[in-house]
């Protein structure tokens, strides 16, 4: 009889603890880290995704811009967050695929510390020049720049980003 009572007590304890652990997701706000400043493509797409998550779950999704070091600072913050499904990252090729090839040490391993969920968007890059620059295509621009060594400036989102590598001169390539 004592054995049966202990067995029933254990079953009741299991039933109560299992019920206590089962919670609907999300039970609290979701943190969505964007590793770039507001206004860029990664931020814009991440904010769109955050809105879709809010609509789907009815739970707040807080977008947190953690810019710096070509996206590495925010990516590291996401990689070091508790793996509980409440921290998401607006991924970008720079800190996920380029940085590991350019830096000997990162504070994260994109393969081991992060898990891909879905593709949100694809971005195209474009070369643009001021209308006063007398070129009509890339070939003309390259000739224009070669004729003016050290006088052409360009802007990128940071060293090691897709935008940086797209315009950085490659030695030996014309």
- Specify whether the CB–CB gap between 90 and 32 falls below 8 A: yes
- Domain-located, residue 75: yes
- CATH code assigned at 82: 3.40.190.150
What is the rounded CA–CA span in Å between residue 144 and residue 50? 43
* Domain encompassing residue 85: 30-102
What is the rounded CA–CA span in Å between residue 36 and residue 20? 39
The per-residue pLDDT for range 45-89, each reduced to its tens digit, is 999 999 999 999 999 999 999 999 999 999 999 999 999 999 999
**Torsion on CA atoms 28, 31, 47, 126, rounded to nearest 10:** -160
- Specify whether the CB–CB gap between 77 and 71 falls below 8 A: no
- Domain-located, residue 80: yes
- Domain-located, residue 128: no
- Domain-located, residue 135: no
Which residue has 């998401």 as its token pair?
A: 88
- Domain-located, residue 45: yes
The per-residue pLDDT for range 119-172, each reduced to its tens digit, is 999 988 888 899 999 999 999 998 999 999 999 888 887 888 888 888 887 776
- Domain-located, residue 172: no
- Domain-located, residue 149: no
- Domain-located, residue 42: yes
**What residue spans of 58-93 are helical by DSSP H?**
72-80, 93
- The model scores a pTM over 0.75: yes
Q: What domain count does the chain have? A: 1
């Amino acid at each position: 009889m004592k054995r049966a009572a202990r067995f029933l007590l254990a079953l009741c304890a299991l039933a109560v603890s299992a019920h206590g652990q089962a919670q609907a997701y999300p039970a609290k706000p979701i943190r969505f880290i964007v590793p770039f400043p507001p206004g860029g493509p990664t931020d814009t797409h991440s904010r769109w995704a955050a809105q879709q998550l809010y609509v789907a779950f009815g739970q707040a999704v807080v977008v947190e811009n953690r810019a710096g070091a070509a996206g590495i600072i925010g990516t590291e913050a996401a990689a070091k967050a508790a793996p509980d499904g409440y921290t998401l990252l607006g991924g970008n090729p720079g800190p996920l695929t380029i940085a590991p090839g350019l830096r000997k040490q990162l504070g994260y391993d994109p393969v081991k510390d992060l898990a891909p969920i879905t593709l949100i968007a694809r971005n195209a890059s474009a070369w643009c020049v001021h209308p006063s620059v007398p070129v009509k295509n890339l070939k003309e621009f390259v000739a224009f720049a070669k004729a003016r060594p050290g006088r052409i400036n360009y802007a990128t989102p940071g060293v090691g980003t897709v935008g940086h590598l797209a315009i950085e001169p490659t030695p030996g390539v014309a």
